Structure 1
């Protein structure tokens, strides 16, 4: 298990560093590509490789890190009970969207995110729905104390809040990913919300809520009680992905979508993380209290 933790941390750090280098590359290197290309064949090769593989490496590292975390903390069955619905439902939704325009709007993927399934959807898209979606859902579920005080209302609330956190990430993501100097997708008919159709966000919320609902049903007999320290990885993944998206959008001059995503996603996520009980700390406090009270009881006798 210790080796798994090491691999998980290496992949998580690599994921974050890939985000940083990717952000710097898109905002600084690509607009000044002539400087790199002037280095000759080496510079040209490095430029082509980074544009073709940078996003793929980043997403794969994030997927591996969250998968190992989920396997360690949730167990094999519960990990798969989220991963499989999230991947298959999201890829189905994306294939439907790129073919018909429903549920997101009329859009197409460009290069930069790897091999395209059916020539339409990069394989990295559904796995990114998985690892960011799981992070959002776990934060919502633990913060709302679904395992400690189970009820249908809390389950529905966790799904709604998890889907909202996931969608708020897209508020920051959409303008940057579709309108930077090196876009990853484009809209056939740019929408009213800073180039993105409002329909897109309804599609994100609906798709993520659907696979979170399937997972909630599959987890109905599972005892998944997470303490605050166990939510560190999901919170780091969520915030690092938001920061990358925010950097792209701010670099392109889109501040309002970033602010909406920050106050609708990051602030609630941190609040829910903080609201989650830290069992180990509470146990230590209770034990210390008992040790202090014991002598008093003896003295009273």
Structure 2
């Protein structure tokens, strides 16, 4: 590529973190391929850019649930815009809220289709191009929900993000030989558009859960607008990490990037909780190994 700036492929760019990351990357002088299911919303994003930024901006319709073959064809076509892809931001996703038993596997499958399989299909499609880059990175937007899955109502969402976390951590090992850096972003509550746009699932009410469900619905209804996280600051931090500047200047690449005071507390509390139980039951943990050979009976 003649242009020395890097090419970013960002999913879920019509709103939230994706939209903001795209703008910051353009401001830093890089090129952006913005994708979303709605090309109209991407048009709105493009129209809000300066003429100079528009020259380094491309948009493409991409539904991450289209399936691996369709996604590969689209990503391959996107790679021809500027002759490659250097940075992949897996941002597209959504959250279903509801009780696990009431939603059943239908809700789980719907949640996993976008948040897990979508991430995997886009990543697999982009990796051949990333391996050709001299300075490649994969950033996956996970969630602090993985650290608080006990919270009633977030079961399907937390489960999907837990799978994403495991896949991302494994990818960091698989991609290390190619010098492709991997970062798992774990944001807390941020005031982004439509984050709580999905209605609470009530399509299969089980009377035994009536009290619990109503309390959970009330809790989620009170969240929008109360989040402490500033999504603009989060986008700047993520771009800083990818480019090694700003808050990341002079610091090693972070395999994990926890964003938000609430997320910090959640991670620390879960680690402390697990370690406490482990310490209380450490005798049992250690007591299930084979007994050592007795004197005179060793081979």
TM-score (norm 2): 0.29
Larger relative contact order, structure 1 or 2 (CA cutoff 8 Å, min sep 6): 1
Structure that is richer in helix per residue: 1
